[in-house]
Structure 1
C-alpha cells in the first residue's frame, strides 16, 4: 500500500513538473499567437474586399518626367484653356461692340440715377414713372451743362487765338535775339519750307481726293448711324436697368443651382453696391477737382477757364491718366495766355488739388469697398484704351472694381457653403442690390 502511495505521489509530482515546463508554455503562447494572427488576416482580407481597388502605379514613361515639370504642364494647359475662353469672349465683345458698349455705359448711368428712382418709389411714385422722370432729369442736366460749356468755349476762342498769335510772335523774337541768333530771312525760309511741304503733300494726294471724299462721306454716314443707334440703346437700356435691375439679375442667375444661385446673386449685389459707391465718389471727387482748378484759373484770368474746369470734371472719371491730361492742358493754355510765371502757378494749383484728391478724398470716399491697386488701375486703363478707346478707359476701372468685389465675395462664401452656413456680408463690402421694392399698388394688393 505504501508503495502505491509513493508511486502515485511521484506521478503527481511528474505531472505537475510537466505542466509547469517553460517550454510547453512557450509552445502554448506561440499557438495562441498563430490563432490571433490568422484571425487578423481574415478580418483584413474581408475589409479589403469592400475597399475599391488601388490605383495603378504610374507608367515608367511618366516616372521619367520630374514632378515639377508635371505640375508646370498641368498649370500650362489650364492657363491656355482659360486664355482661349477669354480671347473668344473679347472677340465676341468686339463683334458686338455696338451693343456691349452701350450696355456698359448704361450700367454706369443706372448706378448714378437708380438711387434717385428708388427714393421716388419710396415716396409712392410708380416705378416706371420714377425711372422715366429720373432719366429725363439726368439728360436735361447733362444737356444744360454741355450747352454752358460750349458757349463759354466759343466765347473764349477769339481771345485764345489772339494769345497764341502773340506767343508765336514772342517765339520769333526769342529765335532772333536769343541764343539761336536767327535772322528774319532764316525764320521766313523755315515757315516757307513748311508751307511747301504741306502743298506738295496735297498735290501728291490730289488724284485720290475725290475717292477719298466719297469714302469719307460714306464712313461719316455710318459713324452717325452708329452713334444714333448707340444713344438709342443707352437710353432704353438705362431706363430698364433703373426700373428692373433687380429682376434682370434674378433672371440671369435663375439657371444656376440652389446654393450657387444664392452665392452668385449675393456677389452680384455686392458688385452693384461697389459700382454705386464708385460712381458717387468719382462724381464728388471730379466736382471738387473742377471747382478747385476752375477757381484758380478764374482768379488768374486764364482764357477758357470754364471749359477747362469742365474738361477736368470729365477726365476725372479716368483715374490717374485723366487728371494728368487735364492738368497738362490747363498749364499749356496758361503758358500761351500769360507766360511762364502764370503757367507755373497753374501747375502748382493742379498738383495741390490732385494731392488732396489722392491722399484725402479717394481714401475717405471710396475706402476698402472699392480699393484697387494702382498697378491694376493702370493696366485696366491701358487695356480699355486698346480695346475700346476712350470709352474703354472710362469703363475699365469700374469693371475691375466690380470684379474685385465679386471675387472676394465668392472666395469668402466658399468655406461657409462647405459647412452649410449662410454667407455673412463683409461690413466693408456690403451686399444687396438697390431694389426700390414692389410697386405701390402691388404692395397693397
Structure 2
C-alpha cells in the first residue's frame, strides 16, 4: 500500500504530484493572462471604435426593454425604436440645458464667494502662528495645481485620446448612434452572426452565454440607474437645503458620475463639499461631507448588496478593483465600462461552465438551447 501511494505522488522522472499540478495550472494561467493582455492592447489601439460600440451596448441595454414593452402593445417595431430614441435624447438634452442654465445663473455668485473665501484663508494663514507670506501661498497653489494636473492625466487620458478633436467626438457619436439603432433593430441577428464565427460544436454554448450576458447587462443598467438617482437626489437635496449655489448641477453631475459604481458618487460628492466650503464655510462643508458619506454608506451597504449584487452577482471588492484597473488602463472609459464588462463576462463564463445549455446531453440549436433574451430582445 505504501509503495502504491509513492507511485501516485511521484512520476517516472521523480516529479512530485503537487509540482505537476502547480505547473499545469501555471501554464494555463499564463495563457489566460497573455490572451487578456492581447485583448487589452487591441482595445487600446482601436479605442476610438471600441468605446462608441461599448456606449452603444449600454444605451441599447437601457432602451431595449422599453422597445420590447411598446412592441407588446402592438406598436410597429420601427416606431417603438424611434419614439424610444427621441425620448432618450430629450431627457439627456433637458439635463444638459438645466445644467448650463444653472451654471450661467449661479457662476457669478460662486466667483464672488471664491474670491472672498480666498481672502479669508489668506488672512488666517498670514497671521500668527502660521505667518505665511503671499509668495509662499502662491507657490503652494502652483504646486497643488501641478500635482492635480499630473494626477488627473491618467484619469482623463482615455477621454482625451478618444475625443481629442471635434472630429473624433463627432465620429464617435455617429458610431454610437448607428450602432445603437442597429442593435435595437436586429440585435438577435447580430449575435447569431457572431455565434456562427465559432465552431459548430461551440455554438450552443456561445448562444446560451450571450443570452445570459445580455440579461445581466440589462439588469445592471436598470439597477445602476436606480442607484444613480438615489445618489443624485440625496446629495442634491443636502446641497439645496444648505442653500448652496449650483445645487441642481451638483445633482446632475452626481447622477452621471454614479454610473461608475462606488467611486463615482464619492468623487462627484467631493465637488459639492468644495462648493460648500467656498460658499458657506467649514460648518456647511462638514454637513455636506456628512451627507455625502451617508449617501455613500446607503449605496455601499444597502443598494449595492441588495440591488447591484443581486442583479450582476459580482462582489463589491471586485467592483472596486475593476474600477481601479479600468481607470489605470483607459481612464474614464475604463472606469465606466469595467463593472458591466466584469458582470457580463462572469455571467457568460458561469453559463458555459455550468453546462446547462447541453440539455439532455444532445447538441441543440441556438434557438432551443437557452431561452434567455439575446441582444436587442431583452424583455421580450
TM-score where L is the length of structure 1 = 0.71
Contact 1:273–1:430 (CA under 8 A) maintained in structure 2:
no
Does residue 42 of structure 2 align to residue 92 of structure 1? yes
Does residue 372 of structure 2 align to residue 431 of structure 1? yes
CA distance in 2, matches of 1:162, 1:392: 37
CA distance in 1, matches of 2:183, 2:11: 58
Unaligned runs of at least 5 residues, structure 2: 1-6, 144-160
CA distance in 2, matches of 1:105, 1:281: 17
Alignment of 1:25-424 (within 5 A): 63-180=13-130, 182=131, 187-190=133-136, 223-256=165-198, 260-413=202-355, 419-420=361-362
Distance 1:68 1:362, change over 3 A: closer
Q: Tell me what 1:21 maps to.
A: none
Give, in angstroms, the shift of residue 400 of structure 1. 0.6
Contact 2:212–2:348 (CA under 8 A) maintained in structure 1:
yes
Q: Which has the higher contact order (CA 8 A, sep 6+)?
A: 2
CA distance in 2, matches of 1:194, 1:364: 45
Contact 1:266–1:432 (CA under 8 A) maintained in structure 2:
no
Distance 1:302 1:221, change over 3 A: closer
Larger Rg: 1
TM-score where L is the length of structure 2 = 0.82
2:133 counterpart SS class: helix
1:319 counterpart SS class: coil
Give, in angstroms, the shift of residue 86 of structure 1. 2.0
Unaligned runs of at least 5 residues, structure 1: 1-56, 199-218, 424-428, 439-445
Once superposed, what is the RMSD of the aligned Cα atoms?
A: 3.2
CA distance in 2, matches of 1:137, 1:192: 49
